[in-house]
Amino acid sequence: MKKTKMKTSKPSKAPKADKKPAPAPADLNVAVSGKPKKTYALIRGMHDILPKDEKYWKALYHAAEKLAEHFQYGRIDTPILEEVGLFIRSVGRGTDIVDKEMYVFEDRDGSKVALRPEPTASIMRAYIQHGIWNMPQPFKVWTWAPMFRHDRPQAGRYRQFHQVDFETIGAKDPAVDAELILVAYNFFQDLGLPVEIHINSLGTPEDRERYIAELVTYYRSKRSYLCEDCRQRITKNPLRLLDCKEPQCQPVKEAAPQLIDWLEESSKSFFMKVLEYLDELSIPYILSPYLVRGLDYYTHTVFEVYTVVPEMPPKEGSAQAPPSAQSALGGGGRYDLLAEDLGGKPAPAAGFGIGIERAVLALKHYAETNKVKVPSPAPHIFFAELGDDAKRRALRLINQLRGTGIRLAFNFLKGSLKNQLELANNLKVPYVVILGQKEVQDETIILRDMESGVQEIIDQKKLEATLKKKLASAFETESVSAVV
């Protein structure tokens, strides 16, 4: 191996960089006829996930996958489209999801279908349909999938968004609720994002009925102080009164009767046991007497996950504000009666869902403000080439390095070596390999250390081994990286 110190390599017959700027492309928006062509944009509430965010999405997915593996949740994937009745039955009329937000349409055969607004109903449908209740219980599953709600778009709120979801069906035990809360908590712990759990109990439907009667009497007496939505909720969905965020309703809410005082002894004892588990696990939680979750199917434990990052004003120039600390990153609870409500055999169950977009925003914000590095799939090597022969050989060598763990960047359209090195510099790769006409003929390749500028000429056959040796320390750091 010959070591030389060169400024930049001089691969032979290097084509000159394009001096003249390329002619401006014809206006793509003008059709041949001269009429402007229509351009397309996202539908309101939809969003693209671009490669710049890949590292966050990957980190979140890996965190979920690792937890699922460790706590033994099997993967389930259900279709996006379901019979609309499934969601009306489970989520319930009177909820925002069913009344205002569901994407419902008539299929070509005339049947009414809906784009799934949440995953639990579909998973329970699958549990019943495949006779899973006949198999050893509990049935522990997780999924990662897009959901659809025709919500009012804002930061962290979209009409198509993703959720990671964990469910345990076929078991009623405080340990199950605690395990799920632990998984939700660990998900954020593993990402380095501090969160806390807000928790409450809705008790049994009987407990709730007695409480709702009390709540309705109380709210009727305060009707004149309430917002329009709340006035309707008194008859339509009284529990949702406790969800109201309107400032004018807050004093009424704060003095409202609390559900916990209306629970039967057995419901209280179940809840206390869940809390004892959380104490044992040192999971930070806050008792939230007004946390009811919006959906009809919950019984007993309900919880939500909130970031404990202090609210920061959005960074100047940043397109998106961080999600408000008011909005939960995720939530879930127990739903013991859903299996029966959907025509199945009794099967107590619990689960939770975390909104990925919201978690990505929180993670980004936290990483930015706390200077935490989220590991990214940054390239180790830039592959530069000069000339058509070199380009052909380069693609072959790049292909040969597949499966080695070495991440390569290259751009065959950059032209001059200077441009390519500039790009390599911007990518902050530690090494560049350079292949010119001479190297193609000699079966060699130049390896440049970007920090020292030292270049060495190596045999193409030894490229993989040499790169692996050079990158050994980079590989080591990656494998012990704290964040997934």
Nearest to 458 by CA among 444, 468, 448: 444
Q: For the chain, how many residues are written?
A: 484
| C-beta closer to ligand AMP: residue 170 or 330 | 330
Q: Which is nearer to ligand AMP, 73 or 335 (CB)?
A: 335
Least Å distance, CB 230 to ligand AMP, is 19
Nearest-approach distance from CB 8 to ligand AMP, in angstroms:
49
Cβ distance to ligand AMP smaller for residue 103 or 133? 103
Cβ contact 46:160 at 8 Å: yes
Measured from the CB atom, is 47 or 70 closer to ligand AMP?
A: 47
Q: How far is the CB of 328 from ligand AMP (least distance, A)?
A: 4
Q: Which residue is nearest to ligand AMP (CB)?
A: 355
* Residue 30: strand, helix, or coil: strand
Crossing angle for the helix pair 265-280 and 174-191, nearest 10 degrees? 40
Measured in degrees and rounded to the nearest 5, phi and psi for residue 5 equal: -110, 110
d(CA 301, CA 280): 17
State the nearest-atom distance from the C-beta of 461 to ligand AMP, in Å. 51
Query: Would you say 283 or 446 has its CB closer to ligand AMP?
Result: 283
CA 125 and chain centroid, separation: 24
DSSP state of 466: H
For the chain, state the CA radius of gyration.
Answer: 29
CA distance 169 to 167: 6
**138 preceded by a cis bond (ω within 30 of 0):** yes
Beta carbons of 97 and 149 less than 8 angstroms apart: yes
Q: Which is nearer to ligand AMP, 133 or 285 (CB)?
A: 285
User: The sheet that has 74-75: what strands, in order across it?
Assistant: 74-75, 139-148, 160-169, 349-355, 330-334, 299-307, 195-201, 285-287
Q: Least distance in Å: CB of 158 to ligand AMP?
A: 4
CA-nearest of 74, 91, 66, 39 to 298 is: 91
CA distances from residue 152 to 220, 221, 322, 332 in whole angstroms, order as listed: 29, 31, 17, 22
At its nearest, how many Å lie between ligand AMP and the CB of residue 189? 17
Supply the minimum distance, in Å, between the C-beta of residue 197 and ligand AMP.
12
Closer to ligand AMP by Cβ: residue 339 or 359: 359
Residue 349's φ and ψ, nearest 5 degrees, are -155, 165
Taking the C-alpha atoms of residue 292 and residue 199, their distance in angstroms, rounded to an integer, is 9
CB-CB neighbours of 449 under 10 Å: 13
Decide: helix, strand or coil at residue 285: strand
CB of 39 to ligand AMP, least distance (A): 26
- Closer of 329 and 390 to ligand AMP (Cβ): 329
- 217-226, Cβ contacts within 8 angstroms, sequence gap of 24 or more: 218/256, 218/257, 219/252, 219/256, 222/252, 225/249, 225/251, 225/252, 226/252
In the complex, the residues that contact ligand AMP under the rule CB under 6 A are 118, 149, 151, 156-158, 161, 163, 328-331, 353, 355, 357-358
- Do the Cβ atoms of 176 and 145 come closer than 8 Å? no
- 9 vs 90, beta carbon nearer ligand AMP: 90
At its nearest, how many Å lie between ligand AMP and the CB of residue 41? Answer: 19
Closest-CA residue to 98 (of 164, 140, 142, 149): 149
Closest CB to ligand AMP among residues 156, 322: 156
Minimum Å distance from CB 68 to ligand AMP? Answer: 18
Q: State the nearest-atom distance from the C-beta of 147 to ligand AMP, in Å.
A: 7
**Cβ closest to ligand AMP, residue 118 vs residue 439:** 118
For ligand AMP, give the closer residue by CB, 22 or 42. 42
At its nearest, how many Å lie between ligand AMP and the CB of residue 357? 5
Sheet containing strand 444-449, strands side by side: 2-4, 455-459, 444-449, 431-435, 381-385, 408-409
Helices (H), 306-345: 338-341
